Chain A
Amino acid sequence: MSIEVRNIHKKFGAFKALDNVSLKVEHGELLALLGPSGSGKTSLLRIVAGLDFHDSGQVLFSGQDAREQKVKDRGVGFVFQHYALFRHMTVFDNIAFGLRVQPPHLRPSEQAVRAKVMELLKLIQLEWVVDRFPWQLSGGQRQRIALARALAVKPRVLLLDEPFGSLDAQVRKELRMWLRRFHDEAHITTLFVTHDQEEALEVADRIVVMNQGRIEQVGTPEDVYHNPANAFVLNFLGNVNFFHCRLAEGKAIIGETELEVPGLSVDQPKIAKLYVRPNQFKLSRGPGKGSSLKAIVEYLNPAGTLVKATLKTETGERIHVEITQEEYRQLKLVKLMPVFVSLKDVSYSEYVQTAG
């Protein structure tokens, strides 16, 4: 089933939580709603689920207006950030709940319920906790139970509100890969809320970037990462350095220094903000043939796949840089060592503010 929202507005008092939001989740798609805390993601998800009401606009399920449909009739599986498990019920009863509250003529037999619950427990690889109570489980286990509970009623869409938000990093990574695999098998239309860009980039078919109740950009992970629509998206999807500069003839003039900017063509000089990702710098021990910024290594963290360094330029600006372990060894980088920074001929982003 596809979900479409059209021109949704939602206010809490005078505060605009959602400001003219429109988006479409295609049938069988895994869409991530990504945005900082307070950007309106939960509000939007709750409106889609029917747990909250919008002030104006439309919610369409497979093209049909859902305004008249109550929560319980929408066929949505909702997974809450803090699980919202029924603490007085065992894992079994939690998962069976949705089946047991169905109207008598649709309700499966106890035997069928048991079979279904066991099937779901197998799917989430937690068969052995069937008789436990939620408070006897870890966070990751609880979240998987919450997912199984939502899946028991065969929802037409799955809505997940920061499902892995309160778990530790390791469990989080495992669960997000599990979710991706599950989605690839079940193809259930899924709307997934997160404030973690890495999670969204890794899991989603498409990403919707939200900010202050508005949608900033919609696109594939590759798209939003490499072709951000604006500075906010760029910033939110990963660390980025920015420089105020003057662009002219393929060069960026930052303070006194001229930096070569590969692939840049400007027909007339412009004042610009230049955004550079940490991996788009090239470091060298000497000034080299082109022009470069002189800086010293202020901070260095070689523990990781990439080596992270913070450089301080002569004008006191800080640049965050990531280089490969190999480069790091070749450069023999140490703290307080002077280095020369230039821009690599790889993809970059720049935003012209004013012409001049």
Chain B
Amino acid sequence: MQTDFVKKSILPGFTLSLGFTIFYLSLIVLIPLSMLFIKTSTLTFVQFWEVITAPRTLAAYGLSFGTAFAAACVNAVFGSIIAWVLVRYTFPGKRIVDALVDFPLALPTAVAGITLTELYAPTGWVGHFLQSVGIKGAFTPFGITVALTFIGLPFVVRTVQPVLEDLDPQIEEAAASLGADRWQTVRLIILPVIFPALLTGVTLAFARAIGEYGSVIFIAGNMPMKTEIAPLLIMTKLEQYDYAGATAIAIGMLLISFALLATANYFQWLTSKNLGKT
């Protein structure tokens, strides 16, 4: 039987692979997600609202999304530069630098957290220096942002890198021959082309940073209302056997994240639809 829904294609196995995709997504993503909603539904809406608008929850949300956003912005700039250097230049040790980019993904997050805390604590190498210019490193939103920047970097580099590799250097030469200076070339020629990929990378880094736990709790200090991130608040609730409260906070995060990701995807679509294929 042939329906309109399944377009005839010479590629084999469409039905099978679609079925598999749906099954797999359900198993891995949808079922755990629905458990979240089922658990939360033991609360009434008023109770739910109270939990997610409690000052301590709001502060945690603000901190989590704020630092994740700041880290994503930092990564947008430096991730792009690193990707650029890796694509356009050859230098001794390039392969080592290239491998190092993935390091934050491979390192157990707790190890990263402890190391960063050591470094940024007032007695650490970096913390000591920061303190001398009047900045507190560890146990502040600044420290959290540092940790989140660390774990988010590979996402930006690895999404921007292939697009830059595809970018014909002759495009830049054409711009130069038409009288554009370096900055005009970057702003008008390179950025618009890598922007959709950059947005994807930044979104991934951001999403990862929102949920990050292991590398942050050591450096955060975990003072309620000040340096307590949302995932930690969830953990705290769980430890107090307040499962419904924990899932309520989680759902709050989920909804905000979803809205942000949808917006990012929309802009990604908007900026890439004119890029064509050639």
Contact = CB atoms under 8 A, between A and B. Distances in A.
B255 interface: no
Interface in B167-194: 168, 170-171, 173-181, 184, 188-189, 192-193
A115 B38 CA distance: 64
A97 interface: yes
A87 B275 contact: yes
11 contacts: A51-B176, A72-B181, A73-B179, A78-B174, A78-B177, A80-B173, A82-B168, A97-B188, A101-B179, A149-B174, A150-B177
Given A51-B173, A86-B171, A87-B193, A72 B275 contact: no
Top 9 A-B residue pairs of the complex, sorted by shortest distance between their CB atoms? A135-B276, A98-B178, A84-B174, A84-B170, A78-B177, A101-B180, A71-B176, A88-B192, A135-B278
Nearest to A86: B189
Given A78-B173, A80-B170, A82-B170, A97 B178 contact: yes
B95 interface: no
Nearest to A98: B178
Given A82-B168, A82-B170, A86-B189, A101 B178 contact: yes
B173 A71 contact: yes
Which residue of B173, B174, B180, B193 has the most chain A CB atoms within 10 A of its CB atom?
Answer: B174
Contacts of A69: none
Interface in A287-346: none
A101 B188 contact: yes
A87 B184 contact: no
A133 interface: yes
Interface in B246-278: 274-278
A167 to B, nearest CB: 15
A85 B168 CA distance: 10
Interface in A260-293: none
Which residue of B173, B178, B192 has the most chain A CB atoms within 10 A of its CB atom?
Answer: B178
Nearest to B196: A88
Interface string B6-29: 000000000000000000000000
Given A86-B189, A87-B193, A87-B275, A77 B177 contact: yes
Contact of B177 (A49, A87, A102): A49
Contacts of A84: 168, 170-171, 173-174
Interface in B211-257: none
Interface in A1-60: 49, 51
A134 B174 CA distance: 15
B178 A153 contact: yes
Interface in A179-237: none
A138 to B, nearest CB: 11
A349 to B, nearest CB: 40
A353 interface: no
A3 to B, nearest CB: 15
Contacts of B176: 51, 70-72
Contacts of A82: 168, 170
Interface in A119-169: 133-136, 149-150, 152-153
Interface string A76-105: 111010101111100000000110011000
Contacts of B184: 101
A84 B274 CA distance: 16
A72 B161 CA distance: 27
Nearest to A161: B170
Contacts of A70: 176
A143 to B, nearest CB: 13
Contacts of A85: 174
B179 A153 contact: yes
Which residue of A73, A78, A134 has the most chain B CB atoms within 10 A of its CB atom?
Answer: A78
